[in-house]
Amino acid sequence: MKKSLIFIFLLVFSIILVSETIIVEENIQQAIDKAKDGDIIYLKAGTYKENLSIVSKNLTLVGEEGAYISYVGKDPKNIFNSSPTIYIENSNVIIKNLEIGSVNSIGIGLLNSKISLSNVNMNLDNAYGVVCVADEEKESFLEVSNLSVEDVNYKSSSGKNVSLNFNSVGIMLSGDSMFVANNIEMKGMKNGLILNNKMSYIYNSDFLENENVAIILSGQQKFINNRFELNVETFKVANSPEVELVGNVFKDNSYNFVIKKDDYDSYQNFRHFSGKIIGFSNILQSPEILNESFGKYFWK
């Protein structure tokens, strides 16, 4: 009798854990609304002109080759007035093999959630690729691999000291947000990364022809084995972050490092720098410093 009860319990438990694959050809949000935790939403090839909301669910979104989600926000002067192309709150979401287009909006907005992106291409026009935030006493976690982020106005340049006037931001994190990135390719951004979060670990990535690669305002930020080439400014550092650079290559950037001591109009927290930058085995082939000495902390 005891063995029979155990068998019945395991059978019921296994049924609960079985996930369903929902195949989508027209409306993704309808599939999300009816999906249960653990379900896989499979997008057939095609263009889906909608913005999505995933709240309090654990789901996987997988795209067939040619699956494209596109959304145009209503307020080009303030993209935060529009809903993100994909909004995720209090959820655990995996997104694979998708192309996402955002105009006047945020591509993926993440609040108090965990998200994994792999093999995702983001095409931006006056947009933010990913915005990751966390409320007080909560955390968000963003993990990416094989992610391409590009401004639609981007055109490759063969010259040095590139001067770009694009208007998109690749990834922005704040609060108790964790960020792990492997193999990002980011091109043509006004600001590639805005890091005002707890910790980031970025490695094996390429940042090419951006106006600014990274604005670093707080947290422990580690860059390992990355390539920074033909950017106007690679790092802007302010406040008190701890930035660790290991095995990176800096080539033909106008400026590799800018230490901000004055106020910066666009970011109210951009104040006097009192942190430290520690570098190990980095290779520099372009101007190194603008208006500041790193002292004993740099190239330690």
* pTM of the model as a whole: 0.86
Which one, of 258, 131, 151, lies nearest residue 195 by Cα? 131
Could you read off the pLDDT tens digit of each residue along the chain, which spans 300 residues? Answer: 555 555 555 554 444 456 789 999 889 999 999 999 999 999 999 999 999 999 999 999 999 999 999 999 988 889 989 999 999 999 999 999 999 999 999 999 999 999 999 999 999 999 999 999 998 778 999 999 999 999 988 877 655 545 556 789 999 999 999 999 999 999 999 999 999 999 999 999 999 999 999 999 889 999 999 999 999 889 988 877 888 888 899 998 888 887 765 544 445 544 455 567 777 778 877 665 443 444 333 433
> Which of 164, 112, 165, 157 has its CA nearest to residue 139?
112
Give the domains, in start order, of the chain with CATH numbers. Answer: 47-297 (2.160.20)
CA distance 125 to 232: 20
How far is CA 35 from its chain centroid?
26
DSSP state of 264: B
SS3 for 90?
Answer: coil
DSSP 8-state code for residue 265: T
